[in-house]
Amino acid sequence: MADYSDSLLRSVLTRVKSTAVVGVSPNSVRPSHYVARYLSVRGYKVVPVNPGHAGKVLFGQTIVGSLKDIPEPVDMVDIFRRSEAVTAIVDEALEMFPSLDVIWMQIGVEHAEATAKAEARGVTVIQNRCPKIEHQRLFGELRKGGFATGVISSRLR
């Protein structure tokens, strides 16, 4: 796992206001769903991207089929797809959003070539991390013992 400083992660999570979540699922037990929901509840504008569910509404936003279907720029692209799909997603993101700030690859997702390409364009890349986990950790939303607030902790009571 790449070593990212807390100051870098905090900076990313503070400056980003909108994110396209590629591979989001409408199934509430899927990590892509509850991470996107968490970001939405925390005030980020979340644009859900999943061609298999395009046209449905999730978190008050219409799911789009691809990054090309997003009518306005986003600050971050959060990737919930296998590593082998990353190159095409990063290429599309760089084409569609010239001022893209961040590409975030979820836990288990890494791609050295796509990372190098994005970084060469001045985009910050985070690999193999989860913005929900990092947000909770950095902004004091984790309970003692390591359990997150909300759904997880309520099930333990």
Predicted TM-score (pTM) of the model is 0.88
Per-residue confidence (pLDDT) for residue 1, from 0 to 100? 53
Q: What is the pLDDT of residues 62-82, one digit of tens each?
A: 999 999 999 999 999 999 999
Give the number of residues written for the chain: 157
Q: What is the pLDDT of residues 26-74, one digit of tens each?
A: 999 999 999 999 999 999 999 999 999 999 999 999 999 999 999 999 9
* Structural domains of the chain sorted by starting position, each given as residue range(s) with its CATH number in brackets: 6-156 (3.40.50.720)
Cβ atoms 131, 153 nearer than 8 A? no
12: pLDDT strictly greater than 80:
yes
In this structure, the strands spanning 61-62 and 57-58 are: antiparallel
Cβ atoms 62, 96 nearer than 8 A? no
Cβ atoms 63, 50 nearer than 8 A? yes
What band does 148 get if pLDDT is binned at 50, 70 and 90?
very low
